[in-house]
Amino acid sequence: MPSNSEVSKWKYKKFLINKKNNFNKKEILQILSPNEIDEAYKTIKNWNNYSPTPLISLNKLNEKLNFNKIYYKDESKRFHLKSFKALGGAYAVEKIIKGNDKKVISTATAGNHGRSVAWGSQKNGLECKIFISEFVSESRAEVMRNFGAEVIRVKGNYEDSLNECINQSNKNNWQIVQDVAWEDYKLVPKLTMAGYSVMMKEISEQIKSEKISHVILQAGVGGMAAAMVAGIARYLDYIPQIIIVEPDSAACVLESIKTGKIEKISIEKESIMGGMSCGEVSLVPWEILRNSVHFCVTVSDDYISDIIKCLANKKFSEKKIIGGECSTPGIASLIGLSNDHEIKKKINLNEGSNVLLFGCEGDADAELYQKLLTQ
Ligand SMILES: Cc1ncc(COP(=O)(O)O)c(C=O)c1O
């Protein structure tokens, strides 16, 4: 467990101010419309066993950092799927098939999206094919098989698994349910984002009269972050400071914000935060993020294990929290930014701040979680 003096040395890697920031509610809601957002909530709140995930106060972490509040949206409790991804893929499957039970569903995944698509397919009685790269663990593959999917392993990285998924799906007339958009494939990724936006609906009710001053959003291809921005536009009547956090080795949103256009980056080393190890921001999220994001920050993998232990051992809150690898970068970046007094001032982080963080997943990769918890 890190001591206070160790934590006071934690650093972020890169930091960027978005010079094009100009949060425009109307523009954002033209990309993901109020109808699409509302329809997702209306549908998902009627799913069996739906209940809002907890919004937990990280009061013990706040004793060190001295803000007003730090909130943590605990997605480890999202149905029995252990991540926010349960809201996206499964919802997209349900909407896209429109009752057609003959369709075969396919997707490529780093793990959690595939689990959601497999679950959605199973709920709707559909066959499901899931493509994974060599970097996806067997324990993640096994969970998808347990939801009835056929798992197909592809040599190479995530992009290779996606290419194989597209090839085979085109050949066999399978319905791809992907969370990434490309030029003529935007409807399904939008549906997944609409599903994710349920998190912000819940938060807007859980936060009561308090106002969020800063929100830190993890990004892989940017779908989750953009969905939260759309949720902010839909459900809040004010604009918090929006901060994107990425693994330093896969900072595709930061690099794109820097130049004002989508930049593809090559990943030299895959981050342990597998779901966020993405080299290119997706099209629809980019349209939302490019003007709405205030700041981008990157973090190394160095603090993942320490943060997982602190969450599990009630060092950050009164409650034990099961937070997987992708749940940690919000906390790592918040501590890193707080340790840099100049930046802290620049972004207005102070004793009046209410910071919102996302615990995107629990022990979704049970083996990796145990390893990180005990190392
Ligand atoms: C498990 C997991 N996968 C993926 C992502 C990234 O989502 P997206 O690719 O929509 O940006 C996150 C975000 O933290 C995550 O926790």
Clarify whether residues 207 and 337 are in a common domain.
Answer: yes
The total number of structural domains that make up the chain = 2
Structure confidence at residue 98 (pLDDT): 85
For 105-131, what is the mean pLDDT? 96
Going through 39-191 in order, the beta strands assigned E by DSSP cover 55-57, 69-74, 104-109, 127-132, 150-153, 175-176
Clarify whether residues 8 and 67 are in a common domain.
Answer: yes
Give the nearest ligand 1 atom to 223 CA.
10
Name beta bridge partners: 107.
130
Q: Is the CB of 355 under 6 A from ligand 1?
A: no
Clarify whether residues 288 and 143 are in a common domain.
Answer: no
Q: What is the largest CA-CA distance in the chain?
A: 59
Which has the minimum average pLDDT: 51-60, 152-161, 336-345? 152-161
CATH of the domain at 36: 3.40.50.1100
Clarify whether residues 221 and 350 are in a common domain.
Answer: yes
Domain boundary among the residues 178, 205, 223 is at 178
pLDDT for residue 3 is more than 90: no
| Local confidence band at 29 (pLDDT 50, 70, 90 cut-offs) | very high
For 286-305, what is the mean pLDDT? 98
**Cβ(240)–Cβ(214) under 8 Å?**
yes
pTM: 0.96
pLDDT for residue 100 is more than 90: no
Clarify whether residues 219 and 143 are in a common domain.
Answer: no
Q: Compute the distance between CA of residue 47 and CA of residue 221 in angstroms, rounded to an integer.
A: 27
Domain residues for the domain of 43 are: 4-84+192-374
Burial of 63 (0-12, 13-18, 19+ CB in 10 A): exposed
Clarify whether residues 119 and 209 are in a common domain.
Answer: no
Is 277 a domain residue? yes
Structure confidence at residue 327 (pLDDT): 98
Structure letter (DSSP) for residue 52 = P
Clarify whether residues 126 and 257 are in a common domain.
Answer: no
DSSP 3-state of 15: strand
DSSP 3-state of 123: helix
Clarify whether residues 169 and 282 are in a common domain.
Answer: no
Domain boundary among the residues 178, 212, 247 is at 178
Structure confidence at residue 102 (pLDDT): 84
Ligand 1 mutation pick, 132, 133, 158, 224, max ligand atoms within 8 A of CB: 224
Following CA atoms 31, 37, 39, 41 in sequence, which dihedral angle do they give, to the nearest 10 degrees? 160
For 2-29, what is the mean pLDDT? 94
Half-sphere exposure of 165 (CA within 13 A, CB side): 31
Closest CA to 179 of 251, 249, 120: 120
Quick: pLDDT tens for 15-26.
999 999 999 999
Is 184 a domain residue? no
Structure confidence at residue 111 (pLDDT): 85
Which has the minimum average pLDDT: 136-140, 299-303, 350-354? 136-140
Quick: pLDDT tens for 242-290.
999 999 999 999 999 999 999 999 999 989 998 999 999 999 999 999 9
Q: Compute the distance between CA of residue 17 and CA of residue 166 in angstroms, rounded to an integer.
A: 36
Q: Is the CB of 349 under 6 A from ligand 1?
A: no
Helix (H) or strand (E) segment spanning residue 281? none
pLDDT for residue 1 is more than 80: no
Clarify whether residues 62 and 133 are in a common domain.
Answer: no
Ligand 1 mutation pick, 267, 271, 276, 356, max ligand atoms within 8 A of CB: 276
What letter represents residue 274's amino acid?
Answer: G
Quick: pLDDT tens for 40-86.
999 999 999 999 999 999 999 999 999 999 999 999 999 999 999 99
> In angstroms, what CA-CA distances link 370 with 38, 86, 157?
38, 22, 24
Clarify whether residues 60 and 95 are in a common domain.
Answer: no
Which has the minimum average pLDDT: 2-11, 129-138, 142-151? 2-11
Following CA atoms 196, 202, 208, 214 in sequence, which dihedral angle do they give, to the nearest 10 degrees? -20
